[in-house]
Structure 1
Amino acid sequence: MSHILVVDDEERMRHLLSIMLERKGYQTSQAGDGAEALEMIGSAAFDMVITDIKMPRMDGITLLENIRAQHIPCPVVFITAFATVDSAVDAMRQGAVDYITKPFEESRILLTVERTLKLSRIMSENRALKQQLRKAEGQNEIIYVSRPMQGLMDLATRVGRSDSAVLISGESGTGKELLARHIHQMSSRCEKRFVPVNCAAISPHLVESELFGYEKGAFTGAARQTEGKFEYASGGTLFLDEIGDLPVEAQAKLLRALQEKRVQRVGGNEEIPVDVRVVCATNRQLPERVESGAFRQDLFFRINVFPLQPPPLRERADDIVPLAEYFLKRLESGQNFRLTKSAIDAMKGYEWPGNVRELANAIERAVILAGDTGEITAATLSFLNPASACPPPENDGFRLPQRGISLEALENDLARQALDMCGNNQTAAAKLLGLTRAKFRVLMKQAN
């Protein structure tokens, strides 16, 4: 139910307006002048204010000025006599939504109230959206104090001011997308869209339609014309994550789009101009994939104009504690926790194969395990080195039990354990098991 504040020094007028509004289901409160109204607005939330202009102590104009000065999100409508219409018009220039002249008709007031309340709802939704955006921006903050990261961020800021293609290489969990977003924010395109695309997550058969769009009827299920990511990101930045997993067939068309700055929708003939800044990222060794023929050399040269490589967390140990404290503050349940010296030593002594992503997960898990103690200790973080809690085996060999084993079940279990230890970093998990990433993926498919 909408709550409306009626402000007028004439008691009869206040009551008349209140009865009229309450009959339509609105909740009302009353104030005899601007000073009383301002005090009420400071202690309660109102969806709109209807106020007379001429009142003792504080008039309607001054009330409006105070509401705006205090950034109170409440639309104001004036009631005025014909003789003071000019004052009402001046007030609208200062931020009033509308004005109603005396004597007034009930239908006119109700129509104005309905329109103003719609505006009030839009203002409320806008505030909520801004809060969400601020929260999202906070989550995208890059935390660092170490010299390697200072040098990287300096380079990222410099290249951000240009329009050059950037290739960000590095292990999973090092913050490649955060770095790409920083580059976008530093660019002249920052007011436009940042569009992330995970190339590894797109089916090989849908890569072209995802990137370039498609015409109606281009294939079964293409019920309408659809723009691709290049068109959607036009004017802004297109972030192609896991570019190393892009199918070879799609690489040639991507190269042409980057060279010509034009795309052609699947099933269409028209070439559509696009203006995008492309930032790519990969956790693969692209030069090796170029040598093996899995990645086009000409595309590699096109996207590798300005290479950046975020260092793994183990090479930026000075950032571990600031990052851990940041993740604690971001957790509602972790804001009152502190890291003990033993916890800090344990974190600095760990290799972090899953990098910053693994650290974030570890802090969240540690807060749960610490319970109501208010402290995170080395014991709380013992899950980082589960082997240290177990006695070492008598030898490095594996003894086959008399009853036998299920080799498939053992492999699946080891794969899952490796993923847990590495914070779901498949490259690091494969390394733990002495496998290539490709063989590890096959093992995971069998496990599923």
Structure 2
Amino acid sequence: MNQILIVDDEEKMRHLLAIILESRGYKVIQAADGVNAFDIINENAFDMVISDIKMPRMDGLELLEKMKANHITCPVVFITAFATIDSAVEAMRRGAADYITKPFEEDRILLTVERTLNFSRIISENRDLKQRLQKAEAGHEIIFKSQTMAAVMDMAGRVAKTDSAVLINGESGTGKELIARYIHRMSPRNEKRFVPVNCAAISSNLVESELFGHEKGAFTGADKKAEGKFEYASGGTIFLDEIGDLPLEAQAKLLRALQEKRIQRVGGNDEVPVDVRVICATNKNLSQQVEKEDFRQDLLFRINVFPIQPPPLRDRMEDVEILFDYFLKKLGAARSVKLDKSGLNALKSYLWPGNVRELANAAERAVILAGDKGQITGDTLSFLNSGQTRDCVPIPADEYKLPRTGIILEEFENNLVRQALEMSENNQTLASKLLGITRSKFRVLMKQYKENRKTGRA
């Protein structure tokens, strides 16, 4: 049931309006002036306000201004006997939803109320949508404490203030789209749209239509004119994910769009100006793609103005614990389930080929497996053992050359032990896996390392 507040210093007028509206099923509350009305509005939610303009203590226009100042978005309809064009224009200029003069007809009142309530519903829906979008945006947080990721985010923050093209190059699951959204959010374009486009997911014969739109009759099924993603993102940011999968013909048109800041719809002759900030992402080596002639070199130059390379999770292992905790909170399991030391060791012993996305999936699976136990242990995470763990990664034969002067093998081993301990944060199990040896063998090397430190040789 819609709730309406009637504000008028004439009791008979309030009573008449109340009878008309209540007969149509509306709930009505009355106030004698603006001061009384504002107190009531602060304590109750209304779908609309019908207010006289001329009233003692606080008139209708003052009430409207006070509601706006306190971010009360309820629509206001003014009703008054002092009808002049000037007062009507002033009321609408200040934000009134409508304006009715006394004496009035019942049908006119009911029509205005219905139209205004529809407007009120739109305001409410927009407010709810904005809240949902804010919640969704909160899910796009970038969680880190590592210096490596901090450097990446610092670069993203700097380039956000400009309109330069950005190329984010990283493995799948490293958060390329999150970084792109962060750049948009921190940019002057943040009030406009962020439009993501997965270039790999678009059919090759439809990619140009998807990006640049098409005219009616441009191809079979094009029964009306349609705008593309570039036009839709006007004033905002377009994010071209998996740019390396874009067909060569579309690459040529994309290059022209970036150079000229104009696009041409499929089947059309007119050039349409577009104002968008372009961020691209890929997990491919585009330089190699250029050598294979699968990617245009001039397009690479155009999109690679400011490169950003988010590190894989295995290179920022200090972020694993806080990321896992974050995912537990998102799952609503942070209070009921905790990660113990053996579980943390299991997480840090894994290579994470799927990066942060795989870690999120592992958290969800671990919560299910933990059940009512209250702890996620190494045993809970044993499913990780079937994947890639930090076992020995063979070094290509030509990557390390023995110098002609030779080396001191013991010092070389000591240096590797030191690095492994630093990378694993003194976790001996993980350090031994980093070196591809058993823990017992690692203990021997570590004992040798400690003895050499005492004698000053390490």
| TM-score, normalised by the number of residues in structure 1 | 0.73
Counterpart residue number, 1:443:
none
Any idea what the Cα deviations from partners look like across 1:386-445, whole Å, max 9, x if unmatched?
579xxxxxxxxxxxxxxxxxxxxxxxxxxxxxxxxxxxxxxxxxxxxxxxxxxxxxxxxx
Matched-pair contact (CA < 8 Å) for 1:238–1:277: yes
Matched-pair contact (CA < 8 Å) for 1:80–1:88: no
Counterpart residue number, 1:244:
244
Structure 2 runs not aligned, ≥5 long: 389-458
Matched-pair contact (CA < 8 Å) for 2:83–2:101: no
Change (3 A) 1:103 1:202: closer
Counterpart residue number, 1:284:
284
Q: Secondary structure at 2:329's aligned position in 1?
A: helix
2:6 paired with 1:6: yes
Write the distance in 1 (CA, Å) between the matches of 2:303 and 2:86: 62
Q: Secondary structure at 2:318's aligned position in 1?
A: helix
Write the distance in 2 (CA, Å) between the matches of 1:89 and 1:247: 56
Counterpart residue number, 1:318:
318
Aligned length: 387
Write the distance in 1 (CA, Å) between the matches of 2:83 and 2:264: 64
Change (3 A) 1:267 1:61: closer
Aligned pairs for 1:123-142 (under 5 A) are: 123-142=123-142
Write the distance in 2 (CA, Å) between the matches of 1:149 and 1:224: 46
2:196 paired with 1:232: no
2:372 paired with 1:360: no
Q: Secondary structure at 2:205's aligned position in 1?
A: coil
Change (3 A) 1:99 1:301: closer
Write the distance in 2 (CA, Å) between the matches of 1:111 and 1:102: 15
Counterpart residue number, 2:268:
268
Counterpart residue number, 2:441:
none
Write the distance in 1 (CA, Å) between the matches of 2:307 and 2:375: 41
Counterpart residue number, 1:294:
294
Deviation at residue 380 of structure 1 after TM alignment: 4.0
Aligned pairs for 1:152-231 (under 5 A) are: 152-231=152-231
Any idea what the Cα deviations from partners look like across 1:114-168, whole Å, max 9, x if unmatched?
2322331122122112112212321222222211111111112222233332221
Deviation at residue 273 of structure 1 after TM alignment: 4.0
Q: Secondary structure at 1:159's aligned position in 2?
A: helix
2:120 paired with 1:120: yes
Write the distance in 2 (CA, Å) between the matches of 1:325 and 1:341: 12
Letter in 1 for 2:146: S
Matched-pair contact (CA < 8 Å) for 1:240–1:279: yes
Write the distance in 2 (CA, Å) between the matches of 1:40 and 1:373: 51
Change (3 A) 1:72 1:250: closer
Q: Secondary structure at 1:214's aligned position in 2?
A: coil
Q: Secondary structure at 2:279's aligned position in 1?
A: strand
Deviation at residue 230 of structure 1 after TM alignment: 3.1
Deviation at residue 309 of structure 1 after TM alignment: 0.6
Q: Is the radius of gyration larger for structure 1 or structure 2?
A: 2
2:308 paired with 1:308: yes
Matched-pair contact (CA < 8 Å) for 1:85–1:101: no
Q: Secondary structure at 1:310's aligned position in 2?
A: coil
Counterpart residue number, 2:253:
253
Letter in 2 for 1:339: K
Q: Secondary structure at 2:267's aligned position in 1?
A: coil
Q: Secondary structure at 1:300's aligned position in 2?
A: helix
Any idea what the Cα deviations from partners look like across 1:355-398, whole Å, max 9, x if unmatched?
1112222233333444456654444444333579xxxxxxxxxx
Q: Secondary structure at 2:124's aligned position in 1?
A: helix
Matched-pair contact (CA < 8 Å) for 2:340–2:375: no
Deviation at residue 243 of structure 1 after TM alignment: 1.4
Deviation at residue 171 of structure 1 after TM alignment: 0.6
2:333 paired with 1:334: yes
Change (3 A) 1:288 1:387: closer
**Which range moves more in the overlay, 17-26 or 219-228?**
219-228
| TM-score, normalised by the number of residues in structure 2 | 0.72
